[in-house]
Structure 1
Amino acid sequence: MLDSFWTLRIKKETAVRFRAFARTYYSTQSLALDGMLDFFRYNEISPHEKLGPRMTLIMEFLKHLKQYLGNRNNATIAIIKNIEKEGVLPTKAMMQLLFEQAPREEEQPELIEIAHGEVKYQGNYYDSLEAIELRKEKNILKQELENTRRKFDEILFSKIKETRPNFGKPKLYLDMTPEEFSSLKETFKSE
């Protein structure tokens, strides 16, 4: 059975606007009018009603949702960067932090027992003199590591060059004589 059609009397400007709207979003003018009526009925709003307070609530919700998702994305990126940097698999705590909304509880500090002016730790150190010795060793090792890093950076950025051949991938080559290379090798072996 064929659908029957009725004629509506509307102003010419309104009809032109409606036809342009219907062509953009719907295949027929009847579907466009049905869609508009269903929209107003489903959302329980009047065409004369302004969306001021409702729209403000929606915009606030979207803003908070964007911030929350941004924070979750930042946490995910930080975990992935840490995995790439450290070369380790994610820990259970990392994964829980990622999927839970609550922050991780702080670890309790080690208890310190003070008796007769001498500090004794229940952890790794037994007395304050040993702790001072270990700190000195740690500082010396840090300085040596920093010197080695500085030397390595000098070599890396001054002696290694990149070549881009016409065909194939770019390659790196070491711009130093064999004597310089062997002396460098000896330096790093002795350290």
Structure 2
Amino acid sequence: MDNGYEKEQFTTISFKESVAKKFRIFSKKMGASNSMTLLMMLDFFEVNNLSPKESIGPTVHTLENLIKKRVSAVIAILRDMEKSQTKPTVAMMQSLFEEVTPAPKSKPLLVEKKRIKKVEKIRFREK
């Protein structure tokens, strides 16, 4: 039975036979009684503020394809920005902040002086 509607009485609505058959098949697909299927349909139209007379517009499939194309375009733009702007800028910044080590000079800065011992001249020699 229909949950919450057990105590309500049935009423009749007249439908054309082909419409009634189509609706019953749809109700079986939905897995609900005819009353609950019709209630779900009405709720859907009210909640989404739709009218069966109006066209919904593009289908979900076409909208999905449009979104995929836009996302692909954004990804392409970001990749181009990374190649042309970000990577060269990072390389320049790294080269600026690298520690520059001076090249070794051929001449040492501090030279040790070698002291030469003076040889004292001996004035007198013993025999």
TM-score (norm 1): 0.35
Larger Rg: 2
Would you tell me which structure has more strand in proportion to its own residues? 1
Indicate the structure with greater helix content: 1
For normalisation by structure 2, the TM-score amounts to 0.50
